[in-house]
């Protein structure tokens, strides 16, 4: 079986799983305990925070460990709007954000906040000009994802951050960095980005752990009240084995970033060439998008039919994003890009990983062509 669903989740590094098992069985102390075992865990936590901070070129105190990017996004958006409610009740985001941002904004609307959802162009992007024009006196926060999880569209977050920092320094800027980290370089330090979410399982770490970068000087209303862990920013006993495993994945993701990006770009170009050669398919992702995501539609065909046929051939791909694929609704991201209901209902996402080879891509393309031929024949038979 060949796995082509890396945007949903990634197979963890062996080094990461080994580390987790070792820390879990040997260093089980609560980092808040005063005895030796507690102190050991506390040291591991400190070290993991330093490793993440160094890889991200930020300060250790700017990192808050969470249960994943869903929590990080909620923490950033709700934590900031609650903390800075005195500044106003307006937020800006885009029409194609992940549900952990989008639904969070919807909840805030129910509670009386106003949200501007910026439309995207046909390539899934917004501009810093759009953000600037949507700003109001009472805007508290702007939230724009770095890389879209369905289409791989890359948003100009550095330009948006630069504009906000220069002209509107009081407006906070949050970036959901989940799909970009380790694949599309981004400098956090001095970028105008105040809050940045990461998830471990998208970078070959474990599920259920993530972090939020909170720029020094920014305060968030804590969503989880309790024992005051993470400097009072996120209560709950820290998941030391996963945090240590995550820190390894963060380090490895950053160390191999340029090489990984170049390699994935090559594989993507090969895949795109092959998809373009199959005339029944229409490509929705663009060459300038993230190097690991290719998205296409098969108009007139239900995406699940192709997905299951590919699975029978030994290839695992995705319809939309993993979080939305069981909801039988057309893709919100594709609709926002103006691709039409038919394209939005027949979308397939193929997402690549660093372990793929050129042979994997050519095998996948052969299988894809075979499946499309079979589906076309079935369609012909049904008509006649
Ligand atoms: N944001 C994006 C862009 C994602 O792709 C995902 C995962 N599908 C998340 C946030 C949520 O991450 P997690 O699974 O760690 O909650």
| Residue listed under structure tokens 């490895």 | 252
Instruction: Report whether residue 323 contacts ligand 1, using a CB cutoff of 6 Å.
Output: yes
Burial class (CB in 10 A: 0-12, 13-18, 19+), 273: exposed
Sign, CA torsion 253/256/261/267:
negative
Is the Cβ atom of 372 under 6 angstroms away from ligand 1? no
Q: Give the β-pairing of 139-143 and 63-66.
A: unpaired
| Tokens standing for residue 25 | 């069985």
CA–CA distance, 380 with 122 (Å, rounded to integer)? 32
The answer to whether 348 touches 317, Cβ cutoff 8 Å, is yes
Within 8 A by CB and 6+ apart from 147, the residues are: 153, 154, 155, 178, 179, 180, 183, 184, 289, 290, 293
Q: Ligand 1 centre from 323 Cα, in Å?
A: 8
Ligand 1 centroid to residue 199 C-alpha, Å: 7
Nearest CA, atom 10, ligand 1: 69
Tell me the C-alpha distance between 2 and 214, whole Å. 38
User: Rounded to 5 degrees, what are φ and ψ at 3?
Assistant: -95, 120
> Which pLDDT belongs to residue 328?
64
Read out DSSP for 170-193?
TSEEEEE-TTTTTTS----TTTT-
Q: How is 97-120 classified by DSSP, letter by letter?
A: --HHHHHHHHHHHHTT-EEEEE--
Examine the residue annotation and report whether 104 is marked as an active-site residue of this protein.
Answer: no
- Residue whose Cα lies nearest atom 9 of ligand 1: it is 69
How far away, in angstroms, is 7 Cα from ligand 1 center? 9
Q: From the CB of 70, is ligand 1 less than 6 Å away?
A: yes
Total Cβ atoms within 10 A of residue 24: 15
pTM for the structure as a whole:
0.96
Q: How many CA atoms lie within 13 A of 281 on its CB side?
A: 26
Query: What's phi and psi for 118, nearest 5 deg?
Result: -70, 135
Q: Which of 52, 104, 105, 323 is catalytic?
A: 323
Which of the following CATH numbers is that of domain 14-255: 3.10.350.10, 3.40.640.10, 3.40.1280.30, 3.40.50.300?
3.40.640.10
Assigned CATH topology for domain 2-8+256-371: 3.90.1150
- Find the 56 Cα to ligand 1 centroid distance in Å: 19
The answer to whether ipTM exceeds 0.90 is yes
Q: Is the CB of 95 under 6 A from ligand 1?
A: no
Shortest CA distance to 185 belongs to which of 93, 291, 268, 59? 291
Q: How high is the pLDDT of residue 154? A: 98
Decide whether any atom of ligand 1 lies within 6 Å of the 100 Cβ. yes
Whether the CB of 176 sits within 6 Å of ligand 1:
yes
Atom of ligand 1 nearest to the CA of 147: 3
Q: Would you call 221 helix, strand, or coil by DSSP?
A: coil
Ordered per-residue pLDDT tens for the chain, 384 residues: 999 999 999 999 999 999 999 999 999 999 999 999 999 999 999 999 999 999 999 999 999 999 999 999 999 999 999 999 999 999 999 999 999 999 999 999 999 999 999 999 999 999 999 999 999 999 999 999 999 999 999 999 999 999 999 999 999 999 999 999 999 999 999 899 999 999 999 999 999 999 999 999 999 999 999 999 999 999 999 999 999 999 999 999 999 999 999 999 999 999 999 999 999 999 999 989 999 999 999 998 888 999 999 999 999 999 975 555 566 678 899 999 999 888 888 999 999 999 999 999 999 999 999 999 999 998 888 776
Please give the helix or strand (H or E) that residue 295 lies within, else none.
strand 293-297
Q: Which atom of ligand 1 is nearest to the CA of 201?
A: 15
Cα–Cα dist 211/201, whole Å: 12
CA angle 344, 264, 204 (to 5 degrees): 85
Domain ranges in the chain are 2-8+256-371, 14-255
Residue 380 is predicted with a pLDDT of: 81
């Amino acid at each position: 079986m060949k796995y082509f669903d890396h945007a949903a989740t990634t197979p963890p590094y062996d080094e990461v799983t080994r580390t987790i098992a070792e820390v879990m069985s040997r260093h089980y102390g609560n980092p808040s305990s005063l005895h030796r075992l507690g102190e050991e865990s506390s040291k591991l936590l400190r070290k993991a925070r330093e490793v993440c901070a160094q890889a991200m070129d930020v300060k250790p105190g700017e990192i808050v460990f969470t249960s994943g990017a869903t929590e990080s996004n909620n923490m950033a958006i709700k934590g900031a709007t609650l903390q800075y409610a005195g500044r106003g009740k307006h937020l800006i985001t885009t029409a194609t954000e992940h549900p952990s941002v989008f639904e969070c904004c919807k909840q805030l609307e129910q509670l009386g906040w106003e949200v501007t959802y910026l439309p995207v162009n046909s390539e899934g992007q917004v501009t810093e000009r759009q953000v600037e024009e949507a700003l109001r006196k009472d805007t508290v926060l702007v939230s724009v994802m770095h890389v879209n999880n369905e289409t791989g569209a890359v948003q100009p977050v550095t330009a948006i951050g630069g504009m906000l920092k220069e002209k509107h320094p009081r407006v906070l800027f949050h970036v959901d960095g989940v799909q970009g980290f380790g694949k599309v370089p981004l400098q956090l330090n001095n970028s105008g980005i105040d809050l940045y979410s990461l998830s471990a399982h998208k970078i070959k770490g474990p599920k259920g752990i993530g972090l939020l970068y909170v720029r020094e000087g920014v305060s968030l209303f804590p969503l989880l009240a309790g024992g005051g862990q993470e400097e009072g920013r996120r209560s709950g006993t820290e998941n030391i084995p996963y945090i240590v495993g995550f820190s390894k994945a963060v380090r490895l993701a950053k160390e191999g970033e340029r090489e990984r990006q170049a390699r994935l770009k090559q594989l993507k170009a090969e895949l795109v060439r092959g998809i373009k050669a199959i005339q029944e398919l229409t490509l929705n992702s663009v060459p300038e998008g993230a190097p690991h995501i290719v998205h296409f539609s098969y108009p007139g065909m239900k995406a699940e039919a192709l997905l299951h046929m590919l699975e029978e051939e030994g290839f695992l791909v995705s319809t939309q994003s993993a979080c939305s694929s069981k909801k039988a609704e057309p893709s919100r991201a594709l609709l926002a890009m103006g691709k039409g209901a038919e394209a939005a209902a027949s979308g397939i996402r193929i997402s690549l990983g660093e372990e793929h080879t050129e042979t994997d891509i050519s095998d996948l393309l052969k299988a894809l062509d075979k499946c499309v031929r079979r589906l076309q024949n079935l369609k012909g038979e049904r008509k006649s």
